[in-house]
Structure 1
Amino acid sequence: MATKPPPIGAVPTGKRSPISRLQIEGLASRLTAVFGIVFGLQTLPVLLSQIGASEPIWAWIVVPALYGSIVVAFIAAMAQRWVVGTNIVVASVYLLVLATWPLTIVAPSDSQLDRYWLYFLVTYATAAATVGFSLPIATCYLFAAPIIYGFIRVTPQGGNASLLESILEVVYSILIGGAVVLIITLLRQAAAAVDVAQSAALDRYTRAVHAHATEIERVQVDSIVHDSVLTTLLSAARAYSPEAKRIAATMASNAIGHLREAALVSPDDGGTVLLSAVSRRISEAASSMSAPFELRTRDLAAQGMPLQAAEAVYSAAVQAMVNSLQHAGQDPRVSRWVTIRGAVPAGIEVEVGDTGAGFSFVDLPAERMGLRVSIVERVTNAGGLVEIDSAVDEGTVIAIRWPRPETPGGLGRHARTSAGTGGLA
């Protein structure tokens, strides 16, 4: 049977993300562009009926410039490229055309006694200014464009409208344009508030992740203390011969190195390492053991894994080999092996086994930390899975896999003894 981590519930599907400031800007620019095309088409009949009263040169310059800028702004809004710049161009061209209008009228026509064609585009120009400019400038534009139109409207070139009629048209344009500016501004502010709330939530999540990473680091240090420091102290206490003292000194040096490395590595480091590099490190560790391990490597994908997970797999594999040397017995007929293979999807599986004494989980002393802390918890915290197959006088096989498979028993081996993670010593 396999040693399995506590069951993990399925991750719930998150709700759709709230609308952000960027989405609001895109929506406002697209709607403004569509309204520009619609208002431009509606204005064409009035434009064609009044264009004969204007200077031909002025008409051939400003009409293509204004309508061309509207079309370009529409294309930019649909593609979400250069949106601000194109809307600034539209608002500026409209204001320029509006200001030069009375200078180009050569023969006022009867159709001008109503409204001039630029009047039908003033709301769209205000919306374009709101999209392109900041709120203070857009507010100034909201009042400037209708007021300029109102002054021109009472002149002969503007149709000789009465003062009351001109004021009504100006107020109407300001009210409609003000509604557009208000709606876009409120949506922007609401989306900005959502962005701030999301940023605050992300900060809280980051702190929670850091706290979790600190706990993982604590487990890692506990594992190092067991794997290196305690083993070194026990070996030093039993070191009577010069050779044993030399080995104890080497182990002490290695233990200090492990602790130094743990102090330098951040638990939430986002780096990655290739699977082949992890395999090479495990192979080098196996070849340096005091007893031979048969190495088998196959089917490793040319992909990477998180640095924290790689370190957990490597350290757990080394501890499994050390456990085999310490507890499998000294019989030369005991065979030991390390198998490193690829796991689906894009993972790694390391199997450390021997044909030695084996053990029973029932009889395992409670003070033994090697399996629980150094192997099982270390790999589980890194998102992996450990399966242990052992029985007395039948050997031990420890399979380490990253990432954790979706279905239990994914390592495909028949196990003889099982132990839960919580009770494993």
Structure 2
Amino acid sequence: MTLHTGAANDRARSYRRVNIRLRWKRFFATTAPGELGLYTYRAHYMAMIGFGIFGVAHLIEVLPIYAQQQHMLQGWYVLFLVALAVLTGLTLFYGLRHSVSPWVFVAYTTVVAAAIIALPLAWTGESMPQNPWISGFIILAVGAAAVLWSARAALLYMFMLEAVYAVIATHVVSVNASAESWFGAGLARMLFGSVLVMILTFGKRGVERLDSNYADALARTLAMHRNRSETADQERIDRLIHDNVMAALLDASRSQGALSRQTRQFASRALDVLSEESSRATGSHTVMVHVLMDELMDALAPWRTRVRFTNLRAPMRPVGEPRVFVPGYVAHGLTQAVTEAVSNSARHSGSEVTTVSMEGELCAPTRINPEGFYLRFTISDDGRGFNYHDIPGRRLGVRVSIMENIEAIGGSVDLDTALGRGTKLTLLWPRDAAA
């Protein structure tokens, strides 16, 4: 029992790791290349929607201020306003498409910082009736930094930006005495920005915990299901052995003289059960294909609400001919790989549906499968996809549980995925079949 529990805990631990940090490799990637947890991903695109809405509202508020100050700033300075308007629109667009695009926030923080640094170069020398229009975008830039980075980095960005703006507002740009002082306005912005950073930080930590708990619960459900399946198999075998052996012994105790025919039949059944268990242990056990289908359906029970089966049909010989069998280790490997693929889709894709299909046909006999048929499984989703080469080395699901597992039983794996266009995984057994 101790070994059984330990195995279940090892399986649970192997499924717990889920990326909850926003990572990206290509600047203009339309989705985050690093795999995000389901709730983390949703929180990021909802943050983009909220940022876009507030950005549009602030642009509407800034336009009258810009109209008053356009003669006091060089004409080229309007490019910063246009860039911020475009980035705000892209943020709202990507958010409504449920696409996490960190490059927009990076560009936004960069443009705001560049606009403040360029303010002395754009000023024409005429006194301004109020603070420059760019100062209002500091809060939005701080919010973008809080979504992108840690709280410490976002606060450091805000203090540096406010320090640069304070130097410019007091020593370079001239503002009317009736305008709000830079000290009061800057202090209010820093106070509001600090509160915004804290709110976003606590929100990110909350969804990270949700993702970790979800992955942990999913892992424990899968481990418990596998443990229950193994226990049920063992109990079934024990029951068969017990019933047949006890029946044979009871019948033998009642027999007078030579053993009866019924006793020999009971004993033969018990030996058959023992032989079947021995074949399972040595790897010579075989499973009918339709039984493999039933085992697959049972293994995918934890995801019954998300899995859609498009094609599950057992091959493949006409009625009256021998049934099609696969080796037991092959059936176990295929079931484990399909289960792992569905588990990965549930935890990382961001899609609510995973499609699973199984098909098989007769083919020329192969070295791996002399019976002459092949099986093909397809697991697909329309989630955010990923770059296989960007998967951290500690993540063994795709490399070990799927690819190495299928290759070890004589199959092949075809992975078709890219950022932003979902994932399609095709498992073929045997790999030398002319499918």
Go from structure 1 to structure 2 and tell me whether the alpha carbon gap of 1:307 and 1:91 turns closer, same or farther (over 3 Å shift): closer
Alignment pair present for 1:23 and 2:61 = no
Kept after mapping to 1: 8 A contact 2:43/2:207: yes
Partner residue in 1 for 2:276: 258
- The structure 1 segments of at least 4 consecutive aligned residues displaced by more than 4 Å after TM superposition are 160-164, 226-238, 247-257, 264-270, 272-275, 277-283
Partner residue in 2 for 1:177: 193
Alignment pair present for 1:44 and 2:63 = yes
Alignment pair present for 1:190 and 2:206 = yes
Equivalent pairs, count: 265
2:170 aligned to 127, 151, 154, which one? 154
2:154 aligned to 138, 144, 157, which one? 138
Three-state SS of the structure 1 residue aligned to 2:70 is helix
After superposition, where does 1:373-384 map in structure 2 within 5 Å? none
Partner residue in 2 for 1:126: 142
Kept after mapping to 1: 8 A contact 2:159/2:190: yes
Go from structure 1 to structure 2 and tell me whether the alpha carbon gap of 1:282 and 1:23 turns closer, same or farther (over 3 Å shift): farther
1:93 aligned to 85, 96, 111, which one? 111
Kept after mapping to 1: 8 A contact 2:158/2:190: yes
State the Cα distance separating 1:223 from its structure 2 match.
Answer: 5.4
2:73 aligned to 25, 42, 54, which one? 54
Three-state SS of the structure 1 residue aligned to 2:173 is helix
State the Cα distance separating 1:222 from its structure 2 match.
Answer: 2.9
Go from structure 1 to structure 2 and tell me whether the alpha carbon gap of 1:91 and 1:270 turns closer, same or farther (over 3 Å shift): farther
Q: Give deviations 1:156-176, integer Å, cap 9, x for gaps.
A: 425276999222121111011
Q: Give deviations 1:168-193, integer Å, cap 9, x for gaps.
A: 12111101111111111111122223
Partner residue in 1 for 2:229: 213
After superposition, where does 1:252-401 map in structure 2 within 5 Å? 255=273, 257-263=275-281, 271=296, 276-277=314-315, 284=322
Write the distance in 2 (CA, Å) between the matches of 1:102 and 1:254: 91
Write the distance in 1 (CA, Å) between the matches of 2:279 and 2:61: 73
Go from structure 1 to structure 2 and tell me whether the alpha carbon gap of 1:44 and 1:28 turns closer, same or farther (over 3 Å shift): same
Q: Give deviations 1:240-280, integer Å, cap 9, x for gaps.
A: 9xxxxxx9999898555511344458999964696534997
State the Cα distance separating 1:139 from its structure 2 match.
Answer: 1.6
Go from structure 1 to structure 2 and tell me whether the alpha carbon gap of 1:164 and 1:104 turns closer, same or farther (over 3 Å shift): closer
Partner residue in 1 for 2:347: none
TM-score, with structure 2 as normaliser: 0.50
Go from structure 1 to structure 2 and tell me whether the alpha carbon gap of 1:216 and 1:68 turns closer, same or farther (over 3 Å shift): same
Alignment pair present for 1:35 and 2:54 = yes
TM-score, with structure 1 as normaliser: 0.51
Structure 2 letter corresponding to 1:116: P
Write the distance in 2 (CA, Å) between the matches of 1:224 and 1:91: 70
Write the distance in 2 (CA, Å) between the matches of 1:52 and 1:90: 25
Partner residue in 1 for 2:86: 68
2:120 aligned to 72, 95, 102, which one? 102
Kept after mapping to 2: 8 A contact 1:69/1:86: yes
Aligned-residue Cα RMSD (Å) equals 4.6
Kept after mapping to 2: 8 A contact 1:150/1:166: yes
Write the distance in 2 (CA, Å) between the matches of 1:196 and 1:282: 52
Partner residue in 2 for 1:167: 183
State the Cα distance separating 1:108 from its structure 2 match.
Answer: 1.8
The answer for unaligned runs of 5 or more in structure 2 is: 1-37, 259-264, 299-311, 324-333, 337-435
Go from structure 1 to structure 2 and tell me whether the alpha carbon gap of 1:126 and 1:49 turns closer, same or farther (over 3 Å shift): same
Q: Give deviations 1:209-261, integer Å, cap 9, x for gaps.
A: 244223311233135536987899999999x9xxxxxx999989855551134
Kept after mapping to 2: 8 A contact 1:28/1:184: no
Partner residue in 2 for 1:300: none
Go from structure 1 to structure 2 and tell me whether the alpha carbon gap of 1:85 and 1:219 turns closer, same or farther (over 3 Å shift): same
Write the distance in 2 (CA, Å) between the matches of 1:235 and 1:281: 39
Three-state SS of the structure 1 residue aligned to 2:181 is helix
Structure 1 letter corresponding to 2:74: E
State the Cα distance separating 1:87 from its structure 2 match.
Answer: 1.0
Identity, in percent, stands at: 19
Q: Give deviations 1:274-311, integer Å, cap 9, x for gaps.
A: 653499799747xxxxxxxxxxxxxxxxxxxx979xxx
Write the distance in 2 (CA, Å) between the matches of 1:188 and 1:92: 22
